[in-house]
Amino acid sequence: MRSPAETLDEPARAADAPRARAGEASPAFNGNSIHEQCNRANGKRSARARRRNSLDHAGVHETRGPGARERFFSLGDRASWQVAERMTRARVFGKRPVGVYLRFGEWTWRHLPRSITTRRLATGYARFVHGLVRLQGDRRQYFGTFFFRNRPQLELICRLAELRRRGSAVRIAVVGCSLGAEVYSISWSIRSARPDLKTTMQAVDISEEALAVAREGVYSLGVSQLADEPMLERATEDEMRAMFDREGEKLRVKSCIKDGIRWSVADARDPQIVDSLGRQDLVVANDFLCHMEPPEAESCLRNLARLVDTGGYLVVSGIDLDVRTKVANALRWKPVNDSIEDIHEGDRSLRLSWPWRYWGLEPFDKSRPDSNVRYASAFQIGEAT
């Protein structure tokens, strides 16, 4: 499951980082740029439909309610939390003015130059706003996802897989695999970077509907109906030609990339998931824990860590940083700081969402004494044997 970047306002999307470079189209793709076809199809996307796409998958149903919110308020300051709590509860003529405050604040923020929004005072205000958003937001799961969503993280996954090589196949589990974009991106990246490395991959999700799409491996050139996202917009022309066979207006994942992938329905919160999947060398759990309330996300993260074999690695992004930091420190995980800042900035949809969406990712702050743990998305679990 994935964070709904589709709900970003148009000013934010216009400020988005440049898309992946498009190469020359081959005759097999009818001589037309796939990105041009994607762009034409993307014009049909409906913001209202995107907001309706809140189906549950990858480990939790819709989550609401408070539940130890003060403990996870981003500023960590009791007075600030009390102010934010009063703001979220206040009502005028039966309505909550905090919604109007946030909409006006977001509009203003989007129109300010980066030279202002990156200043320390503005960042401090944004942290308060993000805490306020997290207090009043209804957390829901989404199908929205992309191929090659975070390239620096994909490169790190390839390196970690190589480190776990033991003569036999490296065991990898992708939890919350959604429509399969991340699974196929990992499979293709490892095969391209380490063609001699054998892998067995478990791809699991709680949604049978999502798994059916992932297992088939057929995707639209434009906006995916289920994800309501242009899932291929971050892939280059060369990557699409290498990964897919063209079938009219659809692209089918090549069989060689599907080899070694086992798809199954599972709940990330279920303690029995370890028995059904077995221990793994590398577990990837991206972009669904942020949609859980902090206490449930913490419990789920602890459960997923049990999947990792001693000395293996857990890759987890798209989660409340307070939750991940707390669990990592409590269980004494060893952060992998290789490319830590590049990975943190690698998914533009998460970064552009901050501070106005609960799933938004705060800027990388080198001055924090816990920055090596707080901003790490990969951890080694236990000592390697």
Angle at 351 between CA 188 and CA 312, to 5 degrees: 45
CB atoms within 10 A of CB 133: 24
Q: How far is CA 336 from the centre of its chain?
A: 18
CB 288 within 8 A of CB 1: yes
Report DSSP letters for 171-193, one per residue. Answer: EEEEES-TTSHHHHHHHHHHHHH
- Tokens (6 digits) for 198: 């054998």
Angle at 109 between CA 106 and CA 111, to 5 degrees: 115
CB 152 within 8 A of CB 343: yes
- Tokens (6 digits) for 375: 């901003």
Alpha carbons 240 and 23: distance in angstroms, whole number? 10
Strand partners, 31: none
- Tokens (6 digits) for 35: 């990105």
Instruction: Tell me the average pLDDT across 278-292.
Output: 95
Q: Which long-range contacts (CB under 8 A, 24 or more apart) does 37-43 make?
A: 37/221, 37/222, 37/249, 38/221, 38/222, 38/230, 38/232, 38/233, 40/222, 41/220, 41/221, 41/222, 41/223, 41/230, 42/222, 42/223, 42/230, 42/233
pLDDT at position 54, please? 33
On the question of pLDDT at 285 being above 60, the answer is yes
Residue range 160-193, pLDDT digits in tens: 999 988 767 899 999 999 999 999 999 999 999 9
Tell me if residue 350 falls in helix, strand or coil.
helix
Residue range 256-267, pLDDT digits in tens: 999 989 999 999
Alpha carbons 157 and 284: distance in angstroms, whole number? 9
| Residue among 67, 205, 203, 49 at smallest CA distance from 139 | 67
CB atoms within 10 A of CB 136: 17
| Whole-prediction pTM | 0.78
Q: 76 vs 376, which has greater pLDDT?
A: 376
pLDDT at position 372, please? 97
- Tokens (6 digits) for 346: 């690698």
Among the listed ranges 47-56, 163-172, 203-212, 277-286, which one has the minimum average pLDDT value? Answer: 47-56
CATH code assigned to 21-58+143-346+367-381: 3.40.50.150
The number of helix segments (H) and strand segments (E) in the chain equals 18, 10
- Tokens (6 digits) for 280: 């793994």
Radius of gyration (C-alpha) of the chain in whole angstroms: 21
Confidence of residue 330 (pLDDT cuts 50, 70, 90): very high
Alpha carbons 334 and 209: distance in angstroms, whole number? 36
**In the chain, where are the structural domains located?**
21-58+143-346+367-381, 70-136
Q: Strand pairing of 199-205 and 218-220?
A: unpaired
